[in-house]
Structure 1
Amino acid sequence: MGIEGLSLGALAEVTGMSKSGVFAHFGSREELQISVIREYHERFEEEVFRPAISQPRGLPRLRALFDRWVAKVATEIDSGCIYISGAVEFDDRPGPVRDALAGMVLLWHGALDRAIRQSVDMGQLRPDTDSMQMLFEIHGLILSLHHDARFLRSSGAVDRARVGFDRVLQYHAVGPLEALPGSAGVTLATSGVLQPS
């Protein structure tokens, strides 16, 4: 259905409430859409962000953020990720719904950027690491995962996203990936493809 498909009438029909009852709760279609985005963000924080920040700072936390993000996207193959589908729906439509969606994505980007910079500060990633470039590459992996798993129904999309993440880490790492914190069980094969050890 997407965010754009949400309406007070549709919600009234699904819930068995009167349209006036739904209107009294939300006030407008726009407020309904923003409420759905906020609810999604709260669930995203609960399932992805909060468990990951319990990991030690640096690469263990960065890897946990990515792994939990991958798991979240993988569970949303049929329903779709609101951050991604909403961006497609509202990329060229200014207004409060777009602002709410973009603001929540930027909060998430901020958390990832902090984890990358902490990994640099802890000496796990090279000092010249451009955290915003690395974030761009990591987000690109998630977009590819969503596209290939949801649209192409590719069964290997999750594994490819994880291999891609390890390649991004290896490029920025101060040493061999398998020697870094949070990389237990990962080795870089001679072919350049990461394999479980």
Structure 2
Amino acid sequence: MASEPPTLQIDFSWTAFQNRVSLKTDTTLQPLYTQHFRTLKPQLRFDSAPSNTPIATATIPSISITPSCTLHGRSLPLTPLSRWKTAYGYTSNVHSTEPVTMSWIANSSMKTWDFVCLDAAQLPVAKFSVNFWALKQVGMMYFQRVVSEEERDEIVVTGLTVLYLMASRLGNPLHLFGAAFAKTGEREKEGGEVGS
């Protein structure tokens, strides 16, 4: 385990049509994951870069706003916390000895889309900054603390799944119907603010 919070760089390869997720240090990029895009379900497949073995898949639905993930053979459902704002929650078994609710929220500007992963106490665990206009470097993921490999796997898979679900929602008018009829998580019912 590293002694300082990791920073990951996500680069898109046009020739291979995949994302490469690497650990960024002062001088090098160490490949950690490869994310493959497919037209058929599951649309996203994540491989461990060193061993080239599959670790996760994710499905982006055509109408519903509820994606599904499988990480290391177990289901990891992402639940929308709001119909119209970027806010998704999931139950994590790797951040604590007991299952805890983690969430992703987002804010955007004209250039960047910032996704923030929050723990059960609503404290930031990681920030995924995506550049709208980039052709190759998709973005950077900054962890706020040292994390285990299992935590990192979960945050990378859920973060990239939320990114590509939201990109799909922006370009697909059918997701408006999915949002209108979506069953949301507890925060919206409680009236809490979750981000934009």
TM-score (ref. length: structure 1): 0.27
TM-score (ref. length: structure 2): 0.27
The structure richer in helix per residue is 1
The structure richer in strand per residue is 2
